[in-house]
Chain A
Amino acid sequence: MPKLLVKNLRKVFGTFEAVKDVSFQVEEKETLCLLGPSGCGKTTTLRIIAGLEVPTSGEVFVDGRLVNDVPPQNREIGLVFQDYAIFPHLSVFENIAYGLRVRKMPLAQLKREVHETASLVGVDNILDVAGKKLSLSEMQRVAVGRSIVLDPKLLLLDEPLSNIDAKAREKMRAELGKMQKEIGIATVYVTHDQLEAMTLADRIAVMRNGLIDQIGTTGEIYDNGRTLFVAKFIGSPAMNLIDCELVYSEERGVLKSEDLALDITELGEAVRDKVEGKELIFGIRPEDVSVEVHKTNSGAIEAAVQLAEPIGAKSIYHLKMGRITVLAKDYSMPDVGVGSKVWVTFNKDKIRLFDKKTEEAIL
């Protein structure tokens, strides 16, 4: 039985349909990320699961129990907010113990539970420290501890890393990942940050305009985005997308756009019946475009470097081919500066094709 089952959820605010028709489930020990741009309906979905919003229609089951009419505090759901909501004047111990005190748990048992949870989330050495003296990373741990001490069936996290600067976020993301593994509670995690979703989730649900475009593992979503939107939203820098058509002549299949012709005969045969007469969009990720100074590959295409952005050991090259700009992510070459001529090769195994009209993936 799934720990969470969401069926045909819909939510209308006045004339605005925030959530149109959302269904998914979360298994035991699984972390599912709801990912999408602002306004896609992810936070509303989370708030409905938590019981903070009433759905217009649809059902929410927690551990097999229909909870639509159950008030938030009785849903056995732990909720961690964006700002952690730690009581500043209470110690870490009292912050974690708060929910247990509300439930009037006997003191001996309460102490045991708090200590157990504190060691699980790694704050057992700072139990006496006041909330206001905690670092961000400690606050995150305490906030999770305070939720899981109540033994919830499900944990909900609402953009817990969104207000933290880039360097600290990297560290806290890893900590959160380790904590999840230790705790092993089914979790729904809401974020607009694709990197966070990719690194923390077992599965990702990519949302847009109140609907889920695709649910899958990071690998599935990254390599096989089912729609143009998913392909574009996941990955940084974004996938190159070029309007084109597939032209067959003399047994060759050639991808043609205004300034690019790419022979993809083998791939072309496989999709021949699916692309007939369609306008296409050709997609390739920047890391699947390689750059070299001297032509070593007969299929390489000439391009001019418009911009080179060094990122770590690699660079993002903005390459001009006629009127088209293609981004490549490759190891940096010191002698490739702005304006220089280079040779570009596309990794043909990684080519994606989308139907321009339906925006759905063909290949």
Chain B
Amino acid sequence: MVGLRFVNVSKKAGKKEILTKVSFEVADKELFVFAGPPGAGKTTLLKIIAGLVAPDEGEVYIGSQIVNTVPPGDRDVGMVFEVPPIYPNRTGFQNIAFPLEIKKVSSDQVKERVGEVAELLQITHLLDRKPSTYSGGELQRVALARVLVRKPRILLLDEPLKNLDAKIRETTRVELKRLQQEFGITMIFSTHDELEATAIGDRVGVMNGGVIEQIGAPRELYSSPRTVFVARFIGSPTMNLVDCGLKQMGERWILDASDFTVDMTAPVRGIGVEAMTEGLLLGVRPEDVILHDSREPRFFEGKVELTQNFGDERVVTVKVGKATLNCLTGKDRMFRHGQRVYVGFREEKAHVFCKKTGIGLA
């Protein structure tokens, strides 16, 4: 069992709290992603796992052992950094073999293990070459090989794809996931890119300002975000969020965003929001906003401000009164700038958040 567990881990830098009471568990052989904007605390968290930074408070467990005082070299944790420290004057082979040589592994064994890892990562052609001839993706793979060759129990990757081209990022992401599955290692991965996070992670922890806002499977984060931050961070194009209040009209609960209303009876039912009639945010994903060309009951008049063609889909930005709403439509529907449209909502998919605390109510 080589899972990992944090219990109320905090870390300050001077007076600034970098991590505040962070608790989570990563299962054996899980691919766990920490996602969040720059400055959320992702790198510090990874460094604490590796033992490069000591927490001020809390316990870190690897397997069943507390490792707070175990030095990095004895933790059996490998870490790949955003900018991998590769020796420029050594060949690929020498770079990858380096950690084994330090451990005085016999040269036959070094050859065998480097060869194995190189084959797996498809970098055998780089073994005799020096790093100055590598592309960004190749450099990243050599760095990864150097960590994997030690066969760590837990592998940490700090924004490993950040500096790669979009196209290479997509393929490397898939390679990493396949590698993790084949090797059966516990992998912890950090990224600022939510798409990458949900694509690769078994579970994702969304971080913001030193705390974990929510941990969940990708689909769960997307369909049931617990806070406004998670709602906004996960999903592209971003969820529409509009100021509103809640009114009871007979049997029905109506969200009033002044320029339009949404019947929230189904989502709101039974959660006791009677007290929360003001200071709310309505959250609707762009694919749950519907555009019609003609007026219909419970559709609201708006004007097209912008259309963005994504190739297979189109994002149409519509102004309804003071509110701006993004709507995802099929590529075959055409809209003119300034065109009048009617906007409706998939009401059962709508979310409500408290504006002040950011916490989701429905």
Contacts and interface: CB of A to CB of B under 8 A. Distances in A.
Contacts of B194: 166-167
Interface of A is mostly: mixed
Given A195-B310, A310-B219, A311-B195, A178 B287 contact: no
A312 B238 contact: no
B76 interface: no
Contact of A307 (B165, B170, B178, B311): B178
Nearest to A287: B312
A181 B237 contact: no
A338 B317 CA distance: 37
Contacts of A316: 199
Interface stretch (A56-64, A153-161, A229-237, A243-251): A229-237
A174 interface: yes
Given A165-B37, A167-B37, A236-B170, A309 B199 contact: yes
B37 A199 contact: no
Contacts of A287: 312
Given A165-B192, A166-B193, A167-B194, A307 B177 contact: yes
B174 A318 contact: yes
Given A199-B308, A218-B311, A166 B174 contact: no
Contacts of A256: none
Nearest to B167: A238
Nearest to A233: B167
A338 B285 CA distance: 27
Contacts of A198: 308-311
Which bucket holds chain B's interface residue count?
35 or more
Given A307-B177, A310-B219, A170 B311 contact: no
A235 B306 CA distance: 21
Contacts of A166: 192-195, 236
B237 A170 contact: yes
Interface string A220-260: 00100000000001111110000000000000000000000
A146 interface: no
Contacts of B317: 174, 178
Contact of B198 (A171, A285, A311): A311
A46 B232 CA distance: 36
Given A166-B236, A167-B233, A173 B308 contact: yes
A236 B193 CA distance: 15
Contact of A177 (B37, B192, B306): B306
Interface string A178-216: 100100000000001111001110000000000000000
Nearest to B349: A313
Nearest to A331: B287
Nearest to B178: A307
A174 B308 contact: yes
Contacts of A311: 195, 198-199
A97 B309 CA distance: 35
Given A165-B37, A165-B38, A178 B166 contact: no
Interface residues of A, number: 43
Contacts of B237: 170
B292 interface: no
A178 B306 contact: yes
A165 B37 CA distance: 8
B98 interface: no
Contacts of A170: 236-238
Interface string A307-332: 10111110010100000000001001
B347 interface: no
A37 interface: yes
A219 interface: yes
Contacts of B170: 236-238
Given A199-B310, A218-B311, A310 B222 contact: yes
Interface of B: 37-38, 165-167, 170, 173-174, 177-178, 181, 192-195, 198-200, 218-219, 222, 232-233, 235-238, 285, 287, 305-306, 308-312, 315, 317, 326, 331, 337
* Closest 3 pairs between A and B when the two form their complex, measured CB to CB: A199-B308, A309-B199, A310-B218
21 contacts: A37-B167, A165-B37, A166-B193, A166-B195, A166-B236, A167-B233, A174-B317, A219-B309, A219-B331, A222-B312, A235-B311, A306-B178, A307-B174, A307-B178, A309-B174, A310-B199, A310-B218, A313-B222, A318-B174, A334-B219, A338-B181
